[in-house]
């Protein structure tokens, strides 16, 4: 089971954006690329049927299947300077890289 932690500031930010956030793991494409974590609070029209649902501090968190396979814990927090704050997810495991060049 994936463990989820959300900072107070991140929970407040998600609540102001509608109370729901999706966290995706974007797989690398091409030589030397690494996976990325994408965080989205604009979920209108997005197919969320395969996502795992979790609730933490009255915030609905939707976790992509690839993310639940790649990590055992996720921490959602707000980072960056005061004029450019953004949501960021930290995983307990390093993100997988592309092995496309390992031939």
Position 81 in a domain: yes
Q: Which domain holds residue 70?
A: 3-91
43: tokens are 């979920």
Give dist(CA 66, CA 69) in Å, integer: 5
Residue 28 has pLDDT above 60, yes or no: yes
Burial class of 25 by CB neighbour count within 10 A (0 to 12, 13 to 18, 19+): buried
Summarised one tens digit per residue, pLDDT across range 56-91 is 889 999 999 988 888 888 899 999 888 888 999 888
pLDDT at position 95 is 62
Task: State pTM to two decimals.
Answer: 0.81
Chain centroid to CA 58: how far?
A: 17
Specify if 84 maps to a domain. yes
Domains in the chain: how many in total?
1
Q: In this structure, is residue 30 part of a structural domain?
A: yes
Report whether pLDDT(103) > 60: no
Whether 36 maps to a domain, the answer reads yes
| pLDDT of 98 strictly over 50 | no
In a domain, 71, yes or no: yes
CATH assignment of the domain containing 28? 2.60.300.12
């Amino acid at each position: 089971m994936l463990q989820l932690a959300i900072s107070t500031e991140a929970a407040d930010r998600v609540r102001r954006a509608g109370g729901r956030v999706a966290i995706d793991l974007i797989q690398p494409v091409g030589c030397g690329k690494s996976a990325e974590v994408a965080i989205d609070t604009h979920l209108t029209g997005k197919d969320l049927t395969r996502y795992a649902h979790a609730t933490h501090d009255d915030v609905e968190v939707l976790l992509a299947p690839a993310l639940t396979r790649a990590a055992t814990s996720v921490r959602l927090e707000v980072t960056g300077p005061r004029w450019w704050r953004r949501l960021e997810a930290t995983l307990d495991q390093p993100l997988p890289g592309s092995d496309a060049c390992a031939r």
